[in-house]
């Protein structure tokens, strides 16, 4: 039935030149033959029509001709124009806790239909990509370190929607989601995970070392990216380009000495740096309560303002990041954000993730706070999209990820002669010693 609806939708689009979405309302409407009057009385009544202001004109509604009914309960296909949907809505969001600020981000967020569908598609793509990476790892096609991001999608998508493509971002080793939001395709990400030539780092970086324009990884050493992020912010200030650097780290890195050194320098020089702690409640296998004397990570900057944000709500993250970016661009110096989030997988693929927390805890977060479900329910309850529309997006994403996985397993590995390439940027070819003095390799920029 779903395939038939899709075929009819596409045909009507070509005939009318308009966007037409066909949905199955058989749950609400049933046409019966004269032989079954009793059945008709038990059927649920159709929903009330939308307010007049939101209904489409007759010209915008297209319906497929119904076939003759041969049996009770025959289904009715009703078309629905995009004009029926609410184009924009305002939602209440959780108020942020603030440190050294008179006021924080607003408690309401506006969302357009186009934004909502884009956020849903991006988060769902990250989720599906990470689940596929899990399968490839268990098949031993992906080897080595692999830290998955499922559960934390609202952080990456909310941050990216609040900054400019020309702004800068650097993170730790749980980097697949940010690699995607910074513009790298699923195909290039999965191919990098499998060590193939078509990977974003040509198969030589792996899970923790992916890069893109204005995206600096992917860093394997705990906390090492934090002073680098402060340095990028210093470059932004020096060049006077009104750009900011988003510097991400986890709760496990929040006790690193280099974090506080970076805080001090950034505050002294008023660097346009947004320090963001993604607090997913566990550093490797240790809960934050066992690892930190104070778990108020947004207050750790002391003399730097801070905000604590619901990291499972993409709209909360977006509004808080906008607030933080405006703070930095106004020349007020750095700001610290704590995103309270949760990872569904273990710390890495070598961690089952259930020895220090219960399966019931994970399931409770999934059922009550899942970022994708939260956005979807908001849009459905506000008539901003239909359930069938989300299903179509899901099918498209599954197809994209599966095609990317096929590429990641069939693309060739990089040849040995490319092993030492790109040691230097824009330099003449140099000779590199191999594993012994008589083994020579060449490095080409």
Q: Is residue 33 part of a domain?
A: no
Are 302 and 157 within one domain?
yes
To which H or E segment does residue 338 belong? strand 335-340
Whether residues 209 and 290 share a domain: the answer is: yes
In a domain, 15, yes or no: no
426 and 299 assigned to the same domain: no
Asked if 111 and 226 sit in the same domain, the reply is: yes
Lowest mean pLDDT segment, chosen from 12-21, 57-66, 283-292, 402-411: 57-66
Return the half-sphere exposure (C-beta side, CA atoms, 13 A cut-off) of residue 403. Answer: 9
423 and 404 both lie in a single domain: no
At 17, the pLDDT band (50, 70, 90 cuts) reads low
Which comes out higher in pLDDT, residue 235 or 61?
A: 235
177 lies in the same domain as 301: yes
* 434 in a structural domain: yes
Residue 16 CA to residue 18 CA, distance in Å, equals 5
**Same-domain check for residues 318 and 432:** no
- Average pLDDT over the chain reads 87
Q: Are 188 and 250 in contact (CB under 8 A)?
A: no
Distance of CA 153 to the CA centre of its chain: 4
Q: What is the CATH number of the domain that holds 309?
A: 3.40.50.970
- Return the higher-pLDDT residue of 11 and 170: 170
168 and 97 in one domain? yes
Burial class of residue 432 in the structure, from the number of CB atoms within 10 Å of its CB (0-12 exposed, 13-18 middle, 19+ buried): middle
Is position 404 within any domain? yes
Residues 430 and 336 in one domain: no
Nearest to 5 by CA among 313, 389, 292: 389
Average pLDDT over residues 129-157: 97
Residue 237 belongs to some domain of the structure: yes
| The pLDDT value given to residue 15 | 56
Pair 275, 246: CB distance under 8 Å: no
pLDDT at 438 over 90: no
Q: 215 with 332, same domain?
A: yes
In this prediction, residue 61 carries a pLDDT of 34
Q: If you ran DSSP here, which 8-state letter would residue 241 be given?
A: -
Determine the Cα–Cα distance for residues 405 and 31; give it in Å rounded to an integer. 44
Residue 193 pLDDT: 98
Residue 50 lies in a domain: no
Rg (CA), the chain: 26
Asked, for residue 80, whether it belongs to a domain, the answer is no
The first and second tokens of residue 352, run together, are: 């089952």
pLDDT attached to residue 426: 87
pLDDT of residue 36: 38
Cα atoms in the Cβ-side hemisphere of radius 13 Å centred on 291: 18
What confidence score (pLDDT) does residue 41 get?
38
Tell me if 305 sits within 8 A of 100, measured CB to CB.
yes
What confidence score (pLDDT) does residue 242 get? Answer: 98
Q: For residue range 265-287, list pLDDT tens digits in order.
A: 999 999 999 999 999 999 999 99
Read off the pLDDT band of 20 (50, 70, 90): low
Any idea what the Cα angle at residue 224 is, between residues 166 and 296, rounded to 5°? 90
Q: What is the pLDDT of residues 175-233, one digit of tens each?
A: 999 999 999 999 999 999 999 999 999 999 999 999 999 999 999 999 999 999 999 99
The number of domains in the chain is 2
Q: Do 422 and 337 fall within a single domain?
A: no
| 14 vs 88 pLDDT, higher one | 88
Per-residue pLDDT band for 38 (boundaries 50, 70, 90) equals very low
In the predicted structure, residue 98 carries a pLDDT above the cut 50: yes
Domain range spanning residue 268? 88-414
Could you tell me how far CA 146 lies from the centroid of its own chain? 17
* pLDDT of 66 above 70: no
Instruction: Indicate whether 163 and 213 sit together in one domain.
Output: yes
Q: Which residue has the higher pLDDT, 36 or 425?
A: 425
Is residue 171 in a domain? yes
pLDDT of residue 445: 87
Exposure string of 230-253, with b = 16+ CB inside 10 Å and e = fewer, is bbbbbebbeeeeebbbbbbbbbbb
Which residues lie across from 74 on neighbouring strands? Answer: 31
């Amino acid at each position: 039935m779903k395939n038939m609806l899709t075929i009819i939708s596409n045909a009507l689009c070509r005939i009318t030149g308009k966007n037409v979405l066909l949905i199955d309302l058989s749950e609400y409407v049933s046409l019966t033959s004269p032989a079954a009057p009793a059945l008709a009385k038990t059927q649920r009544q159709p929903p009330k029509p939308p307010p007049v202001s939101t209904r489409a004109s007759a010209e915008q509604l297209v319906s497929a001709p119904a076939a003759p009914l041969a049996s009770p309960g025959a289904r009715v296909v009703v078309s629905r124009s995009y004009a029926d949907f609410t184009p924009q809505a305002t939602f209440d969001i959780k108020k942020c806790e603030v440190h050294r600020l008179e006021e924080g981000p607003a408690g309401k967020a506006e969302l357009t239909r186009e934004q909502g569908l884009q956020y849903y598609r991006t988060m769902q793509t990250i989720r599906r990509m990470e689940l596929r990476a899990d399968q490839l790892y268990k098949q031993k096609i992906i080897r080595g370190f692999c830290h998955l991001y499922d559960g934390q999608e609202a952080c990456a998508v909310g941050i990216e929607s609040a900054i400019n493509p020309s702004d800068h971002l650097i993170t730790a080793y749980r980097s697949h989601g940010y690699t995607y939001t910074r513009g790298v395709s699923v195909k290039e990400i999965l191919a990098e995970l499998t060590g193939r030539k078509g990977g974003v780092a040509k198969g030589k970086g792996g899970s923790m070392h992916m890069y893109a324009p204005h995206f600096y990884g992917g860093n394997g050493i705990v906390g090492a990216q934090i002073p680098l992020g402060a340095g990028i912010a210093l470059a932004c200030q020096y060049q006077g380009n009104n750009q900011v650097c988003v510097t991400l780290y986890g709760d496990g890195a929040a006790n690193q000495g280099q974090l506080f050194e970076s805080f001090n320098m950034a505050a002294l020089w008023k660097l346009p740096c947004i320090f963001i702690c993604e607090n997913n409640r566990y550093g490797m296998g240790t809960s934050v309560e066992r690892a930190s004397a104070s778990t108020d990570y947004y207050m750790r900057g002391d003399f730097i303002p801070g905000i604590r944000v619901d990291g499972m709500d993409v709209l909360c993250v977006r509004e808080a990041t906008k607030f933080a970016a405006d703070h930095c661009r106004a020349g007020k110096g750095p700001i610290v954000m704590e995103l309270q989030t949760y990872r569904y997988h273990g710390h890495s693929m070598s961690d089952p993730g259930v020895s220090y927390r219960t399966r019931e805890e994970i399931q409770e977060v999934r059922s009550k706070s899942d970022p994708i479900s939260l956005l979807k329910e908001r849009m459905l309850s506000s008539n901003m999209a239909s359930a069938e529309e989300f299903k179509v997006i899901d099918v498209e994403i599954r197809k994209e990820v599966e095609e990317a996985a096929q590429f990641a397993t069939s693309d060739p590995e990089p040849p040995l002669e490319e092993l030492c390439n790109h040691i230097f940027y824009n330099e003449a070819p140099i000779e590199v010693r191999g594993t012994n003095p008589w083994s020579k390799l060449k490095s080409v920029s």
